[in-house]
Every structure is written in structure tokens, then in C-alpha cells.
Chain A
Amino acid sequence: DAGVTQSPTHLIKTRGQQVTLRCSPKSGHDTVSWYQQALGQGPQFIFQYYEEEERQRGNFPDRFSGHQFPNYSSELNVNALLLGDSALYLCASSSTGTSLRKQYFGPGTRLTVT
């Protein structure tokens, strides 16, 4: 049973560019959450998707947007990249059928903005 997978593993972009990160949830999970983890910090919640809609959003600007597909996979898009967007981006999945409190995290995508 595959866990949460994310792609790509690493990414280098230039200021002002746009980036798309991808996440496949654990089998049987229908809810996907995205987090930003800056170096030396704990993860900060960006948003959560369920039934292809954004259900909850953290304190992030509109440059951060997402999408969930019918197969529950998800994308995180960031426009107009800033140097401060450099971070590890984590995807987590959970299930409304069992416990939303238990989230399974992927290995993350390391984004570097130069």
C-alpha cells in the first residue's frame, strides 16, 4: 500500500515564476492538506481539499492556489514566486471515513527560489 507521494522531490525556480507541485494521497484517503515548512520551523497550514473543493484555508496569500482531482490527487500552485517562498512543501492525506485527526505526510517537495 503506497503512502502519500509527492513530485517533484526538488525544484529550483526564479523569482516571479510560477510552480506546480503534485500530491497523491494514501490509498483510501479523500482529504488532502498542504503545508509550508520553512527551514527550522514547524509546518504551516496552507489549505485543505475535500470533494474537489477548498474546505479550509490558512493565512496564505491568493498567490497560493490548489486543486483536487476526482481521484483525490491534488496540486499546489504558487504564482509570482518570492524568495520567501523557498521551503519544504508537505502534503498530508486523511480520511473522513476514519479519522481526520490522523494525517499521513508525504516526503515533501523542496522548493528553492533564486
Chain B
Amino acid sequence: GDSVTQMEGPVTLSEEACLTINCTYTATGYPSLFWYVQYPGEGLQLLLKATKADDKGSNKGFEATYRKETTSFHLEKGSVQVSDSAVYFCALSDPTPGGSYIPTFGRGTSLIVHP
């Protein structure tokens, strides 16, 4: 079945450092790929997505490229801020026979950014 593997955290960085959170996936079809962010005490928010190979999703300075050849979707940001501290989830979504999309999530990677 489908699965998502993320690097374990926590990832601890100083403000303005570069960020990379690795994500690889296993899927039978051609899934859409997502990054969600969860701030403390809140639900998940969609951060960015890519729906086909070589697509680049981007939002709020974050970006990730759908790499079919390496089955990866690594999250990157050139300069992190304290406000980026959160848990980041990589997810994939394949269409089901019924036409719905049920995402499969990774375990999450906690990011802590110090001033």
C-alpha cells in the first residue's frame, strides 16, 4: 500500500538558516503530494502541493519539487523564521476507486527555530 517516510525530528535551526525536510513515498499509482503544517494547538493547514512529476509547489517561502525518479518531495526554505516553528507532515493522495482522495500521512517532523 501507499506509504510516506519523513526524516525524524526535531530539526533545530537558528533564524535565517536553510531548511530541508526529507520526504520519500511509495505509491502504486500517480499520487498528488502535499506538505501540511501543524502549529501548536491547531489543526493541519495545507502548505503546498504538487499533482504531477516535476511540478514545484511553493507557498510562504517554502517549496518542494515532485521527483518521480527518486520518489521524493523534500521541503525546503532558504531562510527560516521563529514563526516557522511547527510540525510538518508530508502526505500523498491517490484517487480511490470511488473517486475520493484519502491522504496518507508521514509521521511528521518537528521544526524548532531559535532567534
Check: B32 CB closer than 8 A to any chain A CB: yes
Q: Kindly identify, within residues 35 to 53 of chain A, every residue whose CB is under 8 Å from any CB belonging to chain B.
A: 40-45, 48, 50
Taking CB atoms, residues of chain A closer than 8 Å to B96 are 56
Q: Mark A60-94, 1 if CB is under 8 A from B, else 0.
A: 00000000000000000000000000000010101
Taking CB atoms, residues of chain A closer than 8 Å to B46 are 102-104
Is B49 a contact of A101 with CB atoms below 8 Å?
yes
Question: Once the chains are docked, how many angstroms separate the CA of A106 from the CA of B93?
Answer: 19
**In the complex, which of the residues A41, A94, A103 has the most CB atoms of chain B within 10 Å of its own CB atom?**
A103
Is A56 a contact of B108 with CB atoms below 8 Å?
no
Question: Once the chains are docked, how many angstroms separate the CA of A33 from the CA of B93?
Answer: 14
Check: B106 CB closer than 8 A to any chain A CB: yes
Check: B66 CB closer than 8 A to any chain A CB: no
Question: Once the chains are docked, how many angstroms separate the CA of A43 from the CA of B36?
Answer: 11
Distance between B4 CB and nearest chain A CB, rounded to angstroms: 8
Give the size category of B's interface with A. Answer: 20 to 34
Contact among A33, A58, A107 with B43 in the assembled complex (CB-CB below 8 Å) = A107
Is B42 a contact of A107 with CB atoms below 8 Å?
yes
Distance between B89 CB and nearest chain A CB, rounded to angstroms: 5
Is B100 a contact of A43 with CB atoms below 8 Å?
no
Is B51 a contact of A101 with CB atoms below 8 Å?
yes
Taking CB atoms, residues of chain A closer than 8 Å to B103 are 45, 103
Given contacts A90-B44, A101-B32, A101-B51, contact A31 B100 (CB under 8 A): yes
Question: Once the chains are docked, how many angstroms separate the CA of A94 from the CA of B43?
Answer: 15
Is A101 a contact of B101 with CB atoms below 8 Å?
yes
Question: Once the chains are docked, how many angstroms separate the CA of A42 from the CA of B89?
Answer: 7
Question: Once the chains are docked, how many angstroms separate the CA of A101 from the CA of B104?
Answer: 12
Given A105-B44, A107-B43, 6 further pairs, Cβ under 8 A: A42-B106, A43-B44, A45-B104, A90-B43, A103-B103, A108-B42
Q: Which residues of B contact A (CB under 8 A)?
A: 4, 32, 36, 41-46, 49, 51, 89, 91, 93, 96, 98-108
Q: Which residues of A contact B (CB under 8 A)?
A: 4, 31, 33, 40-45, 48, 50, 55-56, 58, 90, 92, 94, 100-108
